A and B are shown apart, each in its own frame.
Chain A
């Protein structure tokens, strides 16, 4: 067997990311799904067990577009319930990181920094439970080379802690947009406008 091919599978990539190591131990008992608050309150089709299955069987596209990948809030209700001690939110985060790395867009919210007002006080870095925010030096229009907060969309779980902590209201949750979303919005705006 070609070892490069093995390392290419989604399961191997997930296993290589801290938190995703125990992926293969899942025996599909469904406890995580039945325990999940998001499944119960928000999205009936949400299913961590299915996502693990998709990762195990290298169904990349299915895993990356699965709502489970993007909706998990890492509340870890499932983690202590799992009889195989799999850190399920760790696996989901790993899949999400891989999805972002491959250019997938988060269909839901992520935190976004308003660089024109950010003062790089670092409060958001401290409160973020997912270590998704870091301070980076970059060139900002009209402000020159300054230090600002930056959000890693692969790690952000859209919990809103940073939003609440920010003193200069420079960070908030918005829908991550790409060209398609902009175009879609533009079209709907044009269509709705009275001629």
Chain B
């Protein structure tokens, strides 16, 4: 941190809040609020005379409120930048600090918050995590029993710069504890509070146990756990070392802690899973290893940055396996636990990776994005005609559509990732996707179904998963029906209902609607939109009396070549099982229904008409990108 502050190209803006983030990759406009410290940064030399003079003491949050601080303070002596700060909520305006500061004249009570706007190329979010407060878990008595402390309180007690100068003492009577219990999973892996595992607590419990054991080898330390998770390199060896050092591991989640009110001794009741017996042990002190939870203002930050949150509240990454650093918005990256609980090595690697990813943007004159972006045709957008709509805005997983009532919707091209969800959802065919325009997809459908359509299986595949699955089926020489005709779009969300209707209007024997598995979608929520639409279509076709199996929805990953082949073969079997006359009659019967649906949605999308739209859009794009 000190190094970072000394580096001339790094500017540290401490005590500053991000108020607004606008714009897009390479061109963010960020509004910052530099909060008033009441100490002038250009004059303060960090001598600390004001702190000595200040008569007010309040609890120090950095010490987990175990030690006091003054109203004129720095939270810890290693603070960067070392500039003092006056806590106006606590200050009584005695001005003793002004006197103590003397000729330096660094203290300025007339300071006010400063709002500044900066041009930013890339943003790295490293807002960290917070701790679960175990007070609501009454069974553990935190807050009621003085000797039940949290892991962070133990961390300060065990720190040589902390409140007790590194002496671990129990809060009730300042005696050094001889019997200590550490309870894991307090508030984590618990459906009542936080469902997820907090990742680092097992190692953290072992680390603290070993540190305490080093200081006092006679200490009796037990760790209560549900499962011990030591997944990284060297972690299991560390766990072994703890066992060697005599730390006891008890499998079983404590049900209750009780206290002797006179001696403040604690009794933990739990089941010892290995013995299958209920045990009760006495301890001097209990440390609760509480859950890591998102920062209390994570929701606010998520709306400021316009990045989504995963279940549980953490910031959501672009892709959990392939792009864990990037936010879905280009130019915003995550480092550390704001994206999910992680330990120090993982946070450091993610931080370095985020810096490298950000510098790619800073060193580029131009920024390339996928060419498959969505474009709105303003003449058709009903919002421009004063109707309330906004379906496209809700469909977009990236917040790339600017919808204002009364104006036609607009795609922020730099934010668009080209999934086509808006194109599929728009009920007025007012949006299209370059390279996957309605005209192009329709032309493909018409070509693929030109000859003997009733014998064909038209397979809509998404670019990332099911197309890859079909590819693998081919390269692995899995045999599947030769009547399959594959068609690629970017995402199952792009598989517009119109396209399916058109396929059946032309007399397709069967249609496969395939995409990624729900958690694997490359466009965050694209598959969810696709799945909803598929379910809707399925229901409708059933109502129209279509033979079951002629419309099929399957989620096939790129690794499931065998599944792709199996699904196609099963569909072929279904087709074979329908007598030809009956199939032809059914197709004829459904044709007017399909035409009706297509008409209802505007007009029967003809290639020629759609081409007009494409020409228009391409011209629009050229005008936009290359100003005349």
Contact = CB atoms under 8 A, between A and B. Distances in A.
A29 B191 contact: no
B47 interface: no
B192 A31 contact: no
A138 interface: no
B273 interface: yes
A83 interface: yes
Contacts, number: 58
Given A30-B271, A85-B191, A39 B278 contact: yes
Interface stretch (B24-32, B249-257, B321-329): B249-257
Nearest to A35: B255
Interface in B171-195: 185, 189-192
A51 to B, nearest CB: 12
Interface in B449-469: none
Interface string B250-272: 01111110000000000001111
Nearest to A83: B190
A126 interface: no
Contacts of A50: 276
Contact of B273 (A28, A35, A40, A83): A28
Contact of B255 (A28, A31, A47, A84): A31
A193 B496 CA distance: 89
Given A34-B278, A83-B253, A85-B191, A27 B269 contact: no
A83 B255 contact: no
Q: Is the interface of B mostly helix, strand, loop or mixed?
A: loop
Nearest to A81: B255
Interface string B491-521: 0000000000000000000000000000000
B139 interface: yes
A83 B191 contact: yes
Interface in A1-46: 27-35, 39-40, 44
Given A35-B255, A35-B256, A83-B253, A30 B273 contact: yes
Q: What band does the interface of chain A fall in when counting residues whose beta carbon is under 8 Å from B?
A: 20 to 34
Contacts of B277: 44
A27 B273 CA distance: 11
B228 interface: no
A112 interface: no
B252 A81 contact: no
A49 B191 contact: no
Nearest to A33: B271
Contacts of A31: 253-255, 270-271
A30 B191 contact: no
Given A29-B226, A29-B252, A83-B189, A34 B139 contact: no
A34 B270 CA distance: 5
A63 to B, nearest CB: 15
Contacts of B226: 27-29
Interface of B: 139, 185, 189-192, 226-227, 251-256, 269-273, 276-278
Interface of A: 27-35, 39-40, 44, 47, 49-50, 80-81, 83-85
Q: Which 3 residue pairs spanning A and B have beta carbons closest together?
A: A30-B271, A34-B255, A29-B253
Given A34-B278, A50-B276, 18 more contacts: A28-B226, A28-B273, A29-B226, A29-B252, A30-B270, A30-B272, A31-B253, A33-B271, A34-B254, A34-B256, A34-B271, A44-B277, A47-B271, A80-B192, A81-B139, A83-B192, A84-B191, A85-B191
